[in-house]
Structure 1
Amino acid sequence: MPDWTARIVQDVDDLDVSVFEALATTDSPLLDRLMPRLTNAADHSKLWFGIAALLGVSRKRRAQRAAMRGVATIAVSSLITNQIAKRTNRRPRPSLRSVPLSRMSRRLPTSTSFPSGHAASAAAFVTAVSLELPALAYPLRALAGLVGVSRVATGAHYPSDVVAGWFLGSTVARIGGKLVPPAAPPEKHLHHRAPLQLGERPTGRGVVLVVNPASHSGQGADVLRKVQRKLPDVEVVELRKEDDVEQVMRQSASRAQVLGVAGGDGTVRSAASAAIAADVPLAVFPAGTFNHFAKDVGAFGLDAAITAVKRGTADKVDAAYLNDKIFLNTASIGAYTDFVQIREKYEGRVGKPLAAVWAALVVKDRTLRVRVDDTTSEINLLFLGNGRYQPSGFAPAFREQMSDGLVDLRMLDVAGPIGQLKVLAALLTGQLARNKRYHELSAPELQIDVLSGPVRVARDGELGETTDALHVRVDRRALTVFCHDAAF
């Protein structure tokens, strides 16, 4: 190390120790009371998990997304801090001789000092949550700052350890924001929700409920028992393996005042088609694996769906069609089905952003040549959404509304190692929307011709016919569906 570099390092180290000693030796009853409590609350990220839990139970989609983003970012930053950074730099902890006994944390750390794991987790959570909820940025940053100060005041870290932790955690959060951009602010002028009052049904009279008892490893049967207990006058039709689901739905809808359905998104799709044809409202009792439609429409969880029927609160939402066959959430062709399967396999372990990157890298190469409204492109992945999904990019997760009258089209070319690297670089730098390999547009109607030959279609997670032409359209506000009044 050159002499001038060594002098700079020594000066920084001297300043670090001086600031630590100055804070540690400050005679302050307030510091003695507040700092240990704050640092103990942040042990194992309990403080941040508590805030995430409050956001998660708020019933606000954006708050729940912020909570998930914050928790996932803590997990990644903690892994990097403890398994890489601390093992690379073996800096010892500060001496506790000058720290008052009353100010010390009840749990003395035994790991190395650089960087501060508490600071990294605090910065990761605060930065991640602020991406989704900017209004919380200042109070959360102030709280994170106090946690950082507490780590120095209680003798756990030097100031530079805390600064390094803040930098690491915030960097991880911002990279996550590039991989999966935060949802765009709601466009208030596009929201035309006009809640409907269809009349109270405290016992469920007039509801014909079609249930798949085997859905989601038997969850359908559990849902049925709860619905029958709280809505005793509901007529129940249980699906059997040999039944034609669409025929059962049509027959049930023909005699129902309200068509109810308990099953996965594929079963709900069949029920929606029958409800529209019979001009009756739909009541969705979530009993599938993912329940995307129920979540987006405001009928999740089961208690919320039951309450909606009892109170008679409903809304009108869009129905999308691919070649005149309905889909409520998404449709796809080509490798997108494989992409979703791979992403969902790993997202529980590493989070959706990293799982989406991994899926894009390992998905089987299926290059398609498609023409969309007279523009020809070569792509591997094609996604269609009923309504505009958030966030932008190639990890769409939810809809702010379900009555905008638009189809959301996203196409991506990740062919070959070079293409994969370019897409990965675009994801990491937040430039995917500007990359020529990515295409995104919204329209009420689309014509997609597959010039490379017929492909298999998937609607709401279920495989359908093989075709080389896709006509996609939206029937705006065609479906009346019960939803909890808190959704309004």
Structure 2
Amino acid sequence: MRNRLRRATRSLRSADRGFVIGSASWPRTAADRGLRQLTVLADHGKLWFAIAGVLATRKGPWRRAALRGAASIALSSAVTNGLGKALLRRRRPAVHLLPRHRRLRTPPSSSSFPSGHAASAMAFTTAVGVESPVLGLALVPLAGTVAYSRVHTGVHWPSDVVFGMALGAGVAMATIRWWPLRASPARPRRRAPALPTGEGLLLLVNPSSGIRDPSAELADRWPSAVLLHPRPGTDLIDELNAHLDRAPRVAALGVAGGDGSVAAAAAVAADRGLPLLVIPTGTLNHFARDLGITGTQDSAAALAAGSAVQVHLGAVRIDGGARQRFVNTAGVGGYPELVRLRERWQPRWGKWPAAAFALLRVLIEAEPLPVLIDGRPHRIWLLFVGSSTYQPRAFAPSWRPRLNDGVLDVRYIRADLALSRTRFIAGALSGALVHNRAYVQRELERVSIEVLGAPTTLAADGELGRTGRVFDFTAHHAVLDVYS
């Protein structure tokens, strides 16, 4: 076995040297200068980070591709420079093997194996392709050219480049373990009234939940709709119910705003048996994204076609009081602070980095919360309850493949284990959080949380709500048809 490995190594080195010496006789062309400039441009990932910046200007797959690509470059660079070059020392090709016009002015002096440029190029391209195959294919020629430029300029052997590309692709695919792909949702389709001009539509418009007032645009798109603007300081549910009691005929209820406004409208629509139209104009639009609605155009198409999906709403009763419905998530402990920090940092850093840093800060600063979960004593750092099952199953739950599975997604981080926070962070970084004792994830139809101490605040659908000691959560409390 050892002799075979030695023979394979000698053959590889001979092939490397043969290619470099053979290519030295190629005639001089304009491509020589272009390859030198390209390889310098790709130093330290500058080329790929610039492309990521362009991709990040567009929401959806492009922005996710940019974030996954940037993360893959960082990981591949750490593996290549921190492990590969440190453990597998190899001399770079001798500069005299190639003509002067192809050499770099300041060639690198680190270990030749593997090629960091090739690893970064393939890591970024593969990561982009994971989110958007079309974009990934478009980047393949550029990535291949950057990788080859390292051989053409004499700073790497061909095998350095091949192994670097394989390493980069592997790192990019490994990110799926921590950051699973967002699959196409599978939901039963429903029929709802088709209202192309908005006739029979009562549309709640909450300008305070977004960065601008969309009233003029919505009135132009649905001229027959009735637009309702809430009065400052009033309860949205009370105002909607009061208007519906006076309205002659309403076929559907609409809401233009963020998740807090949507939750209020959803509660009223469920009570009244009305289909709900969601127009994402708020700062938080997680529910709309789970519906597959990215803007007003999507909402208009669904309303005109009468196309809807069935949604189950979660509910919570605080200290035995009135039941409060939620469309996305609710939580106690450090969760309210996590929500506040994540939403404050998300516009600047993106969702995943903001969620990670918010969680880290909460875990560092939070005090353990003693609670009874269905009557059993626990100490936790934070507790998350989702309406329907969220993905990924481990760190940073962010989307739902179904909105009507009739369960609560209950997750909490234990504080009653030695080094529980360290265990949780290690599990999150290793991608093995599902099997981590410090992290609990269960799917339940109902759960009761009793706080053993001072009353704590409930965060629901991105907004801080009432305080209390006993929180009774229920799944599948109401069924709602939502245009999608």
TM-score by length of 1: 0.76
In the superposition, relative to structure 1, how do residues 193 and 13 fare at CA in structure 2: closer, same or farther (>3 Å)?
closer
Gaps spanning 5+ residues in structure 2: where? 1-9, 318-322
Q: Residue in 2 aligned with 1:232?
A: 223
Q: Residue in 2 aligned with 1:335?
A: 334
Deviations 1:243-291 (A, max 9, x none): 3322122134443222111111111111111111121111111111121
| Segment of structure 1 superposing worse, 306-315 or 92-101 | 92-101
Q: Residue in 2 aligned with 1:211?
A: 205
Assess if the C-alpha contact under 8 Å between 1:319 and 1:327 holds in 2. Answer: yes
Deviations 1:9-50 (A, max 9, x none): xx9997697266146347699x979x9699699881389759
| 1:412, distance to aligned residue in structure 2 (A) | 0.9
Among 269, 275, 279, which residue is 1:275 paired with?
269
Q: Residue in 2 aligned with 1:150?
A: 148
| 1:214, distance to aligned residue in structure 2 (A) | 2.7
Assess if the C-alpha contact under 8 Å between 1:227 and 1:306 holds in 2. Answer: no
In the superposition, relative to structure 1, how do residues 206 and 185 fare at CA in structure 2: closer, same or farther (>3 Å)?
closer
Distance 1:25 1:311 in 2: 65
Paired residue total: 454
Q: Residue in 2 aligned with 1:407?
A: 408
Q: How does 1:95-110 map to 2 (within 5 A)?
A: 95=95, 98=98
Q: How does 1:165-176 map to 2 (within 5 A)?
A: 165-166=164-165, 169=168, 173=172, 176=175
Q: Residue in 2 aligned with 1:315?
A: 309
Q: Which amino acid aligns with 1:150?
A: Y
Q: How does 1:57-96 map to 2 (within 5 A)?
A: 67-74=65-72, 76-77=74-75, 95=95
In the superposition, relative to structure 1, how do residues 22 and 93 fare at CA in structure 2: closer, same or farther (>3 Å)?
closer
Assess if the C-alpha contact under 8 Å between 2:92 and 2:156 holds in 1. Answer: no
Between the aligned residues of both structures, percent identity stands at 29
In the superposition, relative to structure 1, how do residues 73 and 415 fare at CA in structure 2: closer, same or farther (>3 Å)?
farther
Assess if the C-alpha contact under 8 Å between 1:76 and 1:172 holds in 2. Answer: no
Assess if the C-alpha contact under 8 Å between 2:128 and 2:136 holds in 1. Answer: no
Deviations 1:85-136 (A, max 9, x none): 9x999x99974973697xx79xx79684767554233332355457678x99
Assess if the C-alpha contact under 8 Å between 2:62 and 2:131 holds in 1. Answer: no
In the superposition, relative to structure 1, how do residues 249 and 26 fare at CA in structure 2: closer, same or farther (>3 Å)?
farther
Q: Which amino acid aligns with 2:23?
A: A
Q: Residue in 1 aligned with 2:285?
A: 291
Q: Does 1:198 align with 2:193?
A: yes
In the superposition, relative to structure 1, how do residues 352 and 267 fare at CA in structure 2: closer, same or farther (>3 Å)?
closer
Assess if the C-alpha contact under 8 Å between 1:95 and 1:155 holds in 2. Answer: no
| 1:428, distance to aligned residue in structure 2 (A) | 1.8
Distance 2:477 2:291 in 1: 15
Q: Residue in 1 aligned with 2:180?
A: 182
Q: Residue in 2 aligned with 1:301?
A: 295
| 1:331, distance to aligned residue in structure 2 (A) | 0.3
Q: CA RMSD in A?
A: 4.7
Distance 2:99 2:242 in 1: 77
Gaps spanning 5+ residues in structure 1: where? 1-10, 484-488
In the superposition, relative to structure 1, how do residues 46 and 96 fare at CA in structure 2: closer, same or farther (>3 Å)?
farther
Assess if the C-alpha contact under 8 Å between 1:317 and 1:476 holds in 2. Answer: no
| Segment of structure 1 superposing worse, 333-342 or 92-101 | 92-101
Distance 1:368 1:77 in 2: 35
| 1:162, distance to aligned residue in structure 2 (A) | 3.3
| 1:482, distance to aligned residue in structure 2 (A) | 1.3
Q: Does 1:262 align with 2:256?
A: yes
Q: How does 1:292-441 map to 2 (within 5 A)?
A: 292-323=286-317, 324-347=323-346, 352-363=351-362, 364-413=365-414, 418-441=419-442
Q: Which amino acid aligns with 1:291?
A: N
In the superposition, relative to structure 1, how do residues 239 and 352 fare at CA in structure 2: closer, same or farther (>3 Å)?
closer
Among 19, 44, 47, which residue is 1:44 paired with?
47
Deviations 1:384-440 (A, max 9, x none): 111111111130111112111111111013689933322221112222111111000
Partner SS, residue 389 of structure 1: coil
| 1:157, distance to aligned residue in structure 2 (A) | 3.9
| 1:81, distance to aligned residue in structure 2 (A) | 9.6
In the superposition, relative to structure 1, how do residues 113 and 339 fare at CA in structure 2: closer, same or farther (>3 Å)?
farther
| 1:326, distance to aligned residue in structure 2 (A) | 0.4
Assess if the C-alpha contact under 8 Å between 2:202 and 2:253 holds in 1. Answer: yes
Assess if the C-alpha contact under 8 Å between 1:24 and 1:100 holds in 2. Answer: no
Q: Which amino acid aligns with 1:340?
A: V
| Segment of structure 1 superposing worse, 330-339 or 243-252 | 243-252
